[in-house]
Chain A
Amino acid sequence: MKIVVCIKQVPETTNVKIDEKTKNIDRRGLGGVINSYDLHALKAALDIKNQVGGEVITLTMGPDDFAVSLQETLALGADKSVLLSDRAFAGADTLATGYVLGKAIEKIGNVDLVLLGQQSVDADTGQVGPIIAELLQVSQVTYADKMIAKNENLLIKRNLGTVEQEITAKLPLLATITETINEPEYTNVVEIAKSFDKTITTWHAKDLDLEDSRVGQAGSPTIVCSISSPEKVVKQGHKLADDPVAAAKELVAALKKQNVLAEDE
């Protein structure tokens, strides 16, 4: 099976700062790490490869230093990597990112399965996976929480919070992966050195069959007008009387006072 895993390098800290001008994440001075959900997606891909054989290719769009994260995926067991790097890609929102990634997956060719993390920890949209699936016109399964290959199909359990759904999906397929699906391994120290025997290919805009208007800032309809943290609201609780009749009276009075119940009810 030919599996592509899309990964994103995100700032290392949980204390993300926003650039006042661009309203984007200020990445200056921050170390990068692989988006934690993507590590689960990579592990899921390696598990499937273990089960049925095949090839795992990791793919990212970003500046040249994202190659560190691709190298890390090679040390973790991926077979090869593709870096999509071009000034023209800068300023892309989820739509323009999904477009370029989708075009790259087309170019890789004969891909059976595309995996992504369910969302990225810095932007938290969860949109890129579904956008790629639309572009490639393949079925998509979001929030995959368990995945087993069985006779050309994948048996997938989706975790939708309050509901679980078990489905059988036909290939080719795109799935986004939860963080409870598996326990990713740490990078093996010796494999880091060995990973340099594998290759990372870089593709620029001209290497892909792209429409200029759908790439980078030009292809990004999203405009971030403002960004703010929700204010911390400290709410005070109130314990009602122990006696049920008294408690009921007290509760009705309180609800009337808050205009939840009308005075005459």
Chain B
Amino acid sequence: MDQKQISKEILLRMVKSFTTNEVAPFDMEIDHTRSYVNDLFNKIKKYDFLSTMLPKEYGGAGFDGETTAAMINEIARGNASLAVTLEGHFKSIDQIVKYGNQALKDEYLPQSKSRIIAFSMTEPSGGSNPLGIASHAEKKGDKWIINGDKIMITNGGLAEIYCVLVKTAPKELSFFVVDKDMPGFEYGKQENFLGLTGVPVGEIVMNNIEVDENHLLGKIGMGKEIGDSAHNDARVLMGAVLTGIMEHELNIVTDYATHRKAIDTPIIQMQGIQRKIADIAVAKETTKLLYQKAAWLKDHRQDYEQEAAMAKAYGSRSAVKSGDNALQILGGYGYSLDYPVEHLIRDARAMEIAEGTVEKMRTEIALIEAKNRA
């Protein structure tokens, strides 16, 4: 084993034990209370989970995409919300690493060890269509003045640093980095979402926030490219979250079907039940292979856009369908709020919308398919 493999093994040993002891037992409570009970968020900080993929030169652990995704997968087996909170942070760090100028990196990357960074594009007037946004930045002297309203931000309210998409001209999109401590920054309303209820998703309002030129991410007009890049990175990790959700579903149904009897036969012996469990298992494994391939391509500096879209598009639909199968296997208990299956369906459902709707991803997958043949 080389250093990379040994590090990965040690990380995954730790994450497995952390998930089993600190996360999984609190899954239902996190869902019901809409918060990270058991002091979970502080524990995540204490053991430096936030620095998993942060490059070593900024004080991080420098794990690659494959290992980071495997870690997210493992945590999602215990609780999908916590995994999504980390996913949102990691994809934001990824964009600062890729597009930030040196001054921006030196300022914010070391801080990302303890302060969450969020990525915000969506506005009341535009989600799938970025040009529909109204937020804008104007240059005054050597400063930029930012105004606007951003909604539905993963970790909104919990995060302290935000990459925000704004217009710098009517058809020109650019990204800036703002900090909650800047004058003119305000937290807005929290969403009342159906699933992933542990993740705070919320709004920020920007009133004449003044930033230096070095808070520009990439160059003026690179908004679309950076947004797409963030989507790609997020989708790899969401494939991992969805795999974890399906593993959780499989744990529940195999245990239940082994012990539940119809007359005196465990229901796992019945073909109708077996088909459902087999379908969940195949969907789980397929999603896992898709996200692992996307992560591998990313680590080897090859195109991973299509595989990332496939992992999320296929994985999200499959996890919802698998959840429905799991609910059916548990019968009345599956339909109860006192059992965990129903919230797994709600959790998975979010990922048919967040980071690009499945409809948009199908378009992207098809267009890449056509481009590859042109």
Contacts and interface: CB of A to CB of B under 8 A. Distances in A.
> Could you say which of A31, A65, A189, A190 has the most chain B C-beta atoms within 10 Å of its C-beta?
A189
Interface string B1-25: 1010011011101100110000000
A190 B7 contact: no
Contacts of B63: 189
B48 A71 contact: no
Nearest to A70: B6
B59 interface: yes
A193 interface: yes
Given A68-B9, A72-B13, A75-B10, A186 B61 contact: no
A153 interface: no
B6 A187 contact: no
Contacts of A136: none
B290 to A, nearest CB: 24
B51 interface: yes
Interface extent on A, as a size class?
10 to 19
B227 to A, nearest CB: 28
Interface string A163-193: 0000000000000000000000111111111
B48 A72 contact: no
A187 B9 contact: no
Nearest to B52: A189
B56 interface: yes
Interface extent on B, as a size class?
20 to 34
Interface string A50-75: 00000000000000010110011001
Contacts of A141: none
B221 interface: no
Contact of A186 (B6, B18, B51, B56): B18
B77 to A, nearest CB: 15
A196 interface: yes
B18 to A, nearest CB: 5
B6 A189 contact: no
A31 B17 CA distance: 13
A31 B46 CA distance: 26
A192 B1 contact: no
Interface string A192-236: 110010000000000000000000000000000000000000000
Interface string A113-155: 0000000000000000000000000000000000000000000
A252 interface: no
A33 interface: yes
A67 B6 CA distance: 9
B49 interface: yes
Interface of A: 31, 33, 65, 67-68, 71-72, 75, 185-193, 196
8 contacts: A65-B1, A67-B6, A72-B13, A187-B11, A188-B46, A189-B47, A192-B10, A193-B56
Interface of B: 1, 3, 6-7, 9-11, 13-14, 17-18, 46-49, 51-52, 56, 59-63, 113
A-B complex: 8 closest residue pairs judged by Cβ atoms: A189-B48, A187-B14, A190-B48, A190-B61, A193-B61, A72-B10, A189-B61, A186-B47
